[in-house]
Amino acid sequence: MKKITRIAKGRIIDPANHRDETADLWIADGKIIDPMPGKETETIDAAGLVVAPGLIDIHVHLREPGQSHKETMASGTRAAAAGGFTTVVAMPNTNPSADSAATITWIKEKAAREACVNVLCTGAITKGLKGEELAPVGSLFNAGVVALTDDGHCIQNNEIMRRAVEYARMFGLTVMDHCQDYSIVGDGIMHEGEWSLRLGLPGWPRAGEEMIVARNIMLAELCDSPIHCQHISSGGSVRLIREARARGVKISGEVCAHHIALTDATLAAFDSNFKMNPPLRTQEDIEAIIAGIADGTLTILCSDHAPHASYEKEVEIDHAPFGITGLETEFAIFHDILVHKRQAIDLPRLIALFTSEPAALLKLDRGTLSSGAAADVVLIDPKRDWTFDKNQSASLSKNTPFHGHTWRGRAVRTIVRGETVWTLAA
């Protein structure tokens, strides 16, 4: 007899189907099924909990191949499961970079063996992420990539970027771009402003992001093909994207949790766990980003989960690598700030930003609780207050600025293809 699971009496929120009701959810053979009262072999009590499609993070660094001292497929996906994520999209800045079908195949096979959640691959836009020569887009598409990006790097040559978008359009792929104009950013390591002057650290001005966002808007309009701007940090970028989307340009943007939770003032202690790219900016930028989320300008939430070994971060801030971990904390941060404290959006919209919106952007068959869909499900306790302890993290790396922070809202069970892969310890 096949296993039939009933998730009972939860608040089902499924934005893809405009569903928000208290009901039972049924699972069999790894898929969502229509109700079968009296036939369940397992019952999960979800009273007081939200039952939602498994969360999707489209911006994650899993570090394999080549950087397993920072993270592995197994550890990174355990961290994802602990954050309520059932699907993650891996960035291509590995070693070797994911610029060939062979590397994509290796990643997919490694994930099939070791990952506890779904791992999807992006392919590099250019060979070696050097911004000089296009990677074989057709081969990458045939190998199964869901998007193209040189994340961690930004193509400076506008002609190469144009051709990349045109090739991507042939295969129905979205180009995702790390927006950074090297000529104006230079060796900047934090937001250029009052605090960079106080601390004597090289500044990374907003314009360094906004110039590339403007470039991408023009290319998306020229090529009539989508470009997605990664980790938006500047209020000016929000304004540019808002105006372009109002004209119908196929441009979109995403937000990382740290860019609405922290400001550049937190670097006063010279702690490299607050060093990221793009950098933390000002409260003014945070207000603009939250407004952009609230009015639908920014449609994706993500982590930019970027693990680094402790010895890499425990150096002078100038020499430390950019990036922080984030898979385990991002949902709680966004929920606490956007829904609980600011009431900028409601809970169904928050879940949409983690499910139906990323699924639509990358054309994924995930992010829904429709009958027949893969049974990727997360149970969330929106009223749970909890404190993050980096020493309990599932990630191999502990480079987080959120150790000891308390948030409201947490995933308590993560289900992938009908099987529980993580539960919160009692």
CATH of the domain at 234: 3.20.20.140
CATH of the domain at 40: 2.30.40.10
Q: Quick check: 98 and 92 in contact, CB under 8 A?
A: yes
CB neighbourhood size of 69 (10 A): 14
Residues 340, 387, single domain; the answer is: no
Residues 314, 329, single domain; the answer is: yes
Token couple for 338:
């956007």
Residues 246, 297, single domain; the answer is: yes
User: H helices of 247-379, where?
Assistant: 258-261, 283-294, 310-313, 330-334, 347-354, 356-362
Q: Which domain holds residue 384?
A: 4-50+374-423
* Long-range contacts of residues 308-316, Cβ cutoff 8 Å, at least 24 apart: 308/70, 308/397, 308/399, 309/69, 309/70, 309/396, 309/397, 310/397, 310/398, 310/399, 312/70, 313/272, 313/273, 313/399, 314/272, 315/272
**Integer Cα distance of 34 and 24 in angstroms:** 10
Residues 325, 384, single domain; the answer is: no
As to burial, measured by CB atoms within 10 angstroms (0-12 exposed, 13-18 middle, 19+ buried), residue 107 is buried
**Integer Cα distance of 276 and 189 in angstroms:** 8
Residue 335 lies inside a defined structural domain of this protein = yes
Number of folded domains that form the chain: 2
**Integer Cα distance of 392 and 389 in angstroms:** 6
Residue 119 lies inside a defined structural domain of this protein = yes
* Structure-token match 């790396």, residue found: 397
Catalytic residue among 285, 304, 336, 381: 304
**Integer Cα distance of 44 and 375 in angstroms:** 14
Residues 121, 246, single domain; the answer is: yes
Residues 143, 261, single domain; the answer is: yes
Q: pTM score, two decimals?
A: 0.97
Residues 221, 290, single domain; the answer is: yes
**Integer Cα distance of 92 and 151 in angstroms:** 7
First to last CA, the chain: 31
Active site residue 99: no
Q: Is 423 helix (H, G, I), strand (E, B) or coil?
A: strand
Residues 309, 353, single domain; the answer is: yes
As to burial, measured by CB atoms within 10 angstroms (0-12 exposed, 13-18 middle, 19+ buried), residue 302 is buried
Of the residues 340, 362, 384, which one is the last residue of a structural domain? 362
pLDDT at 1: 53
Residues 396, 257, single domain; the answer is: no
Residues in the chain with pLDDT < 70? 1, 426
* Structure-token match 């930003």, residue found: 353
Residues 37, 94, single domain; the answer is: no
CA dist list (Å): 296 to 108, 146, 293:
33, 23, 5
Token couple for 202:
């090289």
**Integer Cα distance of 11 and 351 in angstroms:** 13
**Integer Cα distance of 272 and 383 in angstroms:** 32
What does R_g of the chain's alpha carbons equal in angstroms?
21
Residue 369 lies inside a defined structural domain of this protein = no
Residue 227 lies inside a defined structural domain of this protein = yes
Q: How many helices and strands, by DSSP H and E, does the chain display?
A: 14, 18
∠ CA 38-44-49, rounded to 5°: 125
Residues 389, 266, single domain; the answer is: no
| Residues found in the chain | 426
Residue 183 lies inside a defined structural domain of this protein = yes
Q: Quick check: 53 and 366 in contact, CB under 8 A?
A: yes
**Integer Cα distance of 63 and 47 in angstroms:** 38
Residue 384 lies inside a defined structural domain of this protein = yes
Beta bridge partners of 134: 126
Residues 111, 206, single domain; the answer is: yes
